[in-house]
Amino acid sequence: MNCTRSVIGKPSQHFSLLIFLLAFLASSTLSAQNSEIRAIEDSVIKIYTTQSAPDYFTPWRLLTPRQSSGSGSVISGNQILTNAHVVANASYVQAQKHNDPQRYLARVTFISHEADLALITVDQPGFFSDLKALTIGDLPAPLQEVSVYGYPIGGKSLSITKGILSRVEQQVYAHAGAYLLAGQIDAAINPGNSGGPVIVDQQIVGVVMQASSGGRAENLGYFVPPSMIRHVLADSEDGRQDGFPDLGFRTQTLDSPSAKKAYGLSNDQNGVLVIKVFDDAPAQGVLQENDVIIKIDDYDIAEDGSIRLSEDILTDYKHAIDLHHVGESVSITYSRAGRVSTTTLEAREALDSYSLVTGEQFDKIPEYYIYGGILFVPLNMNLIKRWGNDWSRTAPVSLLQARNEWSSPERRQLVVALQVMAADVNLGYHDWRNWIVGFVNGEAVRDFAHFSQLIKNNKDDNVVMENKNGYQLVINHDEALASEAEILTLYQIPSAHSANLFEE
C-alpha cells in the first residue's frame, strides 16, 4: 500500500514568514510615507514679518512694530501662498526654506483680505530652483484624513499634524470678517501655522487660517477651501483685486409656514425673503423687498437659506454668489406675490460697506481731522476693534449698535468725535468721548469727506454739531483756527488732518 506523504513546514517557520511579510509591508508603507513627506516639506516655507499697524485711537501714529511668523507653500509661478493676516500691515517680509538657515527678502504680490489669502514671492535668483510647486486639489470628503504642514511657535523645524475634516460651511473669517466657505478640522493648529497648507495626496486642499478661540473648543481649526483659493488665484491674474461680488440685497430665512404662505409660496416651495435692496447695486430696479429668492444658478435654496454642495455638505446660499467673479452673470429665480420669474444680475464689485460701519481695512493710513482740539474720525471696524479682543463687550454701545444700520446715499458713513484734547477753545467738552456727529450747522452728514468739507468751508461764526438725539457741541470757528497750531504743538501732533483728506 503506497502512502503519499505531505510536506508541511513547521508552524514556527510559517509564523516567522508572516512576521517578515508584515514587517516588510510596514517598512514599505513607512518608506512611502516618508518619501511623500520629503516631497512636500521642501515646498513649505516659513515667513517672518515685521508689522506696523496704525493706531486708530491716535491715527497719526503707528502701534509698536511687532515681529511674527507664519507659514506658506510654493505654488506655480514662483509664488508662495499664505494668509493675508500673516503679511497685513507688514513693513518687512522674509522667507525661509526648510532646513536652510538663511532668510530671503520677500515681497507681497497680491492680497485678498476677504479670503485671508496672500501671494508673496522672492526675487533672489535661484530661490525657487530646488522647490517643487504644489498643485491645488479638490475639497476632501467629510471624515477624510488630512495633514497640516507649518511652523508653529515652540520650535524652528517643520511640524506635521494630522486630523479629520469634520465640517464644511460658511464661517466668519476672523481676519477681515468676511462670511465665506471654510473647512473645519481637528488637527492641532497654533500660532505660526497660519498660511500653511492642508495636504491630501500631495495636493493643497486648504490653507490654515485660524483656530477656534475663546477656550470653548480644543483642537478645532479652520482652513480656506480650494474653491476660495482658486477664486483668489484667478482674481490675481490681472494684478487687480476685485474681490468677491455682492448683488446688493439682504435676506432673512423663511422657516415659518405662515410667512411662506403670506409671501405666496406653496408648500413645496422654499427660499429666502428679500428685506433690503441697496441703491446703486445690481439688484436695484430688478428685485424688490418681499420678493422670495428660491434659486441661484442651479442651486435650490432651502427654507433655512442653505444650498446643497454635495450629498454631505450644506452651506449658506451666499456661496453660490461667491463662486462668481466680477463681471459675470448670476441667474436668480424669485417669487413675487406667488408668481415665479427668472432674471440675471451682473456680479459687481462690492461697495465699501452696506453698513454704516465700514469693514476692517489693512495696509491703509487712517483718516482723521482735528478741529477745535477735537479728534474726529470715521467709524469703522478698525476703530471698534481697537477696544481689544473683547471689543464686542468693551466698545461703546452706540458704536456697536451702528453696525446694524444700513447705509444709504444720504448717510454712507458715521463720523465720531473720538476724544477732546483739552484747550480753552473746547471748554465744557473736555470729558466728551465717542460722540457720533449727525449734523453740522443743520446739514446732515453723509460721510467723513462731506463732514470735513463742511468744517473747512464753514463761513459761520460758530460750528454747531448735533447728534441724532439733539445734543449739541458748539465751537467758535475763529478760535478753532487761531488755536490750531498751539494745540498741535502741545499734543505733539504732526498735522491737523490725515494726508490726502482734501485732495480731489
- In this prediction, residue 167 carries a pLDDT of 93
Query: Cell numbers at residue 296, please?
Result: 441661484
- In this prediction, residue 218 carries a pLDDT of 58
Q: Which residues contact 173 (CB under 8 A, 6 or more apart)?
A: 114, 115, 116, 179, 180, 182, 209, 210
Do you know the residue count of the chain? 504
Q: Single out the catalytic residue among 194, 306, 335, 355.
A: 194
3-state secondary structure of 339: strand
- Do the strands 221-224 and 203-211 form a parallel or antiparallel pair, or are they unpaired? antiparallel
User: Cα separation of 211 and 221, whole Å?
Assistant: 4
User: Cα separation of 242 and 322, whole Å?
Assistant: 12
User: Across-strand partners of 300?
Assistant: 295
What secondary structure letter does DSSP report for 313? Answer: -
> How many Cβ atoms from other residues are within 10 Å of residue 126's Cβ?
7
Distances (CA, A) of 324 to 231, 250, 316, 434: 8, 18, 15, 39
- In this prediction, residue 191 carries a pLDDT of 86
Alpha helices in 112-158 (DSSP H): none
- In this prediction, residue 406 carries a pLDDT of 92
Residue 160: what are its φ and ψ, rounded to 5°?
-130, 125
Query: Cell numbers at residue 126, please?
Result: 535661484
Q: What is the pLDDT of residues 352-411, one digit of tens each?
A: 778 899 999 999 999 999 999 999 999 999 999 999 999 999 999 999 999 999 999 899
Mean pLDDT, the chain, whole residue set: 91
Domains of the chain listed by start with CATH number: 44-122 (2.40.10.10), 145-236 (2.40.10.10), 245-349 (2.30.42.10), 369-490 (3.20.190.20)
Q: Is 298 in the active site?
A: no
3-state secondary structure 85-125: HHHCCEEEEEEECCCCCCCEEEEEEEEECCCCEEEEEECCC
Q: What is the pLDDT along the chain (504 residues), one digit of tens a residue?
A: 444 444 445 556 666 666 766 666 555 554 545 566 777 999 999 999 999 999 999 999 999 999 999 999 999 999 999 999 999 999 999 999 998 999 999 999 999 999 999 999 999 999 999 999 999 999 999 999 999 999 998 788 899 999 999 999 999 999 999 999 999 998 878 888 999 999 999 999 999 998 765 445 456 899 999 999 999 999 999 999 999 999 999 999 999 999 999 999 998 999 999 999 999 899 999 999 999 999 999 999 999 999 999 988 999 999 999 999 999 999 999 999 999 999 999 999 987 778 899 999 999 999 999 999 999 999 999 999 999 999 999 999 999 999 999 999 899 999 999 999 999 999 999 999 999 999 999 999 999 999 999 999 999 999 999 999 999 999 999 999 999 999 999 999 999 999 989 875
The closest alpha carbon to 209, from 83, 87, 111, belongs to 83
Grid-cell match 525661509, residue found: 96
Measured in whole angstroms, the distance separating CA 1 from the mean position of its chain's CA atoms is: 89
Measured in whole angstroms, the distance separating CA 250 from the mean position of its chain's CA atoms is: 19
Q: Single out the catalytic residue among 43, 73, 85, 319.
A: 85
Q: Is 231 in the active site?
A: no
- In this prediction, residue 28 carries a pLDDT of 52
Rg over alpha carbons for the chain, rounded to the nearest Å, is 29
User: Cα separation of 222 and 181, whole Å?
Assistant: 10
Q: Is 300 in the active site?
A: no
Q: Which residues contact 145 (CB under 8 A, 6 or more apart)?
A: 162, 163, 164, 200
- In this prediction, residue 154 carries a pLDDT of 77
Q: Single out the catalytic residue among 116, 246, 291, 316.
A: 116
